Amino acid sequence: MFNLDANLADDHPGNDRFKTVQTYRRLKDLLLFQKIPPRIKLDIGLLAGRLNVSKTPVREALIMLAEERIIQVLPGSGYFSKALRVTEIAEEYEVAFAVLKHIIAAHIDDFPKAGFIAMDADRVHDALAYVSFIETILETIAAMSGNGLALKMIRSFNSRTTFIRQLDLQQAGRLRQTADAMDEFTRCLSQANGEAALGILQRLHREKLERLRDLIAEANRHAAPATGQWQDLVH
């Protein structure tokens, strides 16, 4: 999976590096939340003007986004935004599941000291807050491995799928259903019950894959209209 820090040239001046990172993060956020509609040419000069940076950080940010398959490159034509694709997002879930499954199996005896804290009951109705809570749990599990690459992979997975996660939990009954499952999941981890925890993780993974096609179709329906209005969001 693409490593932002490792792929920024070491000899870049600090200010250029900062601008590249900021440009990358801003464009990534807009693209993943479908604020830039699919099949839009990402003109380097236009984006540089909107973001008030030179073309260099924009070009480097687009290269990184293409490496992460968030945008596509058409030879001779440039960089283009694209719709979310079921196969690509499913691959993200499969890889994340494999990583988390391995960590739990290998480090289950360490989880009682992880200090999982349940979300306050009066906040469970807040889908956006619960998305953040889930992502924190996943990153806590990854951190238990002591493997920095695994943690980066899960953080990248979280950012790639957070919009899908939000749409899922906004569906009728899904937030309560997911919260109950996550409470049981973290309780099993805290008790070092690896078999039960892996069973719950498997069930949640299977349910998400079953719902993925509908969720991605909904996400793509949220895409901004293919007009010049999306450009106002780039700043």
What are the tens digits of pLDDT across the range 85-100?
Answer: 999 999 999 999 999 9
* DSSP-assigned beta bridge partners for residue 81: 71
- As given in the structure block, the two tokens for residue 71 are 């945008």
Burial string for 115-153 (b: 16+ CB within 10 Å, else e) reads ebeebeeeebeebeebbebbbebbebbbebbebeebbbb
Residues 6+ apart with CB under 8 A from 136: none
**In this structure, are residues 124 and 179 in contact, taking their beta carbons and an 8 Å threshold?**
yes
- Interatomic CA distance for residues 3 and 64, integer angstroms: 9
pLDDT band for position 121 (cuts 50, 70, 90): low
* Per-residue confidence (pLDDT) for residue 41, from 0 to 100: 92
Name which of 50, 64, 58, 46 is nearest 20 in CA terms: 58
**In this structure, are residues 106 and 147 in contact, taking their beta carbons and an 8 Å threshold?**
no
Residues 6+ apart with CB under 8 A from 31: 65, 70, 71, 81
What domains can you pick out in the chain, each with its CATH number? 5-82 (1.10.10.10), 86-220 (1.20.120)
Vertex 34, ends 234 and 72: CA angle to 5°? 85
- As given in the structure block, the two tokens for residue 11 are 């000899």
Number of Cβ atoms within 10 Å of the Cβ of 1? 14
What are the tens digits of pLDDT across the range 27-45?
Answer: 999 998 888 888 899 999 9
What are the tens digits of pLDDT across the range 129-141?
Answer: 999 999 999 999 9
What are the tens digits of pLDDT across the range 44-58?
Answer: 999 999 899 999 999
The DSSP call for residue 129 is: H
- Interatomic CA distance for residues 61 and 234, integer angstroms: 14
Tokens 């950012």 belong to: 159
**In this structure, are residues 196 and 188 in contact, taking their beta carbons and an 8 Å threshold?**
yes
pLDDT band for position 116 (cuts 50, 70, 90): confident
pLDDT band for position 224 (cuts 50, 70, 90): low
